[in-house]
Amino acid sequence: MKNFPRTEKTRVRRLPKRAHYDVETVYSILDAGFICHVGYVVGGQPFVTPTAYWREGDHVYWHGSRASRMPAKAANHNVCLTVTHLDGLVVARSGFHHSINYRSVMIFGKPHQVEDEAHKLRAMENFVERIYPGRWKELRPVTRKELKATTVLYMPIKEASAKVRTGGPIDDEKDYRLPIWVGVIPFQVSNSTPLPDSRLLAGVMTPNHALNFCHLGIRPA
């Protein structure tokens, strides 16, 4: 199993038994989602921007409008990108021991802009296909203007950690006598019935990629 190195930045100090550094766990958490938070610093002020992402091999990609601040300010600077999945609420016998079951990843690195047009186009296709498999070929082609208006960033996944909590509450021994409900309330993201656009042309059927998001770990409600 390949592991990311434990660096000064990525070594989990708090509850290290929940830490994972293997590539498989980090990638599986990244691949189970498509929303991340990108943290970056501008003039000493930290900003954390939620945005969509996707993984291609050992790189993580995200994009933004050329008019947005985040892609411009994050490019060629140190960032911290996080991904979190909420798996459950852990209800304990004391407020102190309530917890959350989760899978999360933190990646440190320096993103760069995709300059090459063909690379940018391929990245945009991979982004759309990641969420809606089979959709790219149905869409009208991207224009040069649209491509110009879009900044795509990519960052090698070299310095990363994962942290995972599973299981029930861990209470103080004396509290196990308390007659109150305890347990785990599982959470999961689900998609619902698609709502067709008011200007959808008559006769156009709902495609499978608007109904099925199991590849993203999302189940129908």
Ligand X SMILES: Cc1cc2nc3c(=O)[nH]c(=O)nc-3n(C[C@H](O)[C@H](O)[C@H](O)COP(=O)(O)OP(=O)(O)OC[C@H]3O[C@@H](n4cnc5c(N)ncnc54)[C@H](O)[C@@H]3O)c2cc1C
> Residue 220 Cβ, how far from ligand X at the closest point, in Å?
24
Nearer residue to ligand X within complex by CB, 102 or 127: 102
Tell the smallest beta-carbon distance from residue 206 to ligand X (Å): 33
Q: Which is nearer to ligand X, 12 or 75 (CB)?
A: 12
CB 136 within 8 A of CB 120: no
Q: Rounded to the nearest whole angstrom, what is the least distance from the CB of residue 89 to ligand X in the complex? A: 10
Q: Is the Cβ–Cβ distance between 63 and 151 less than 8 Å?
A: yes
**Distance between CA atoms of 101 and 167, rounded to whole angstroms?**
7
User: Which CB, 10 or 51, lies closer to ligand X?
Assistant: 10
Structure tokens that stand for 178 in this block: 């308390």
3-state helix, strand, coil in the chain (%, to 5): 25, 35, 40
Residues that bind ligand X (CB under 6 A): 9-10, 12-14, 84, 86, 100, 102, 104-106, 161-163
Let me know: does 158 contact 109? Beta carbons within 8 Å.
Answer: yes
Nearer to ligand X, 142 or 164 (CB): 164
Minimum CB–partner distance for residue 18 and ligand X (Å): 8
Contact 4, 108 (CB under 8 A): no
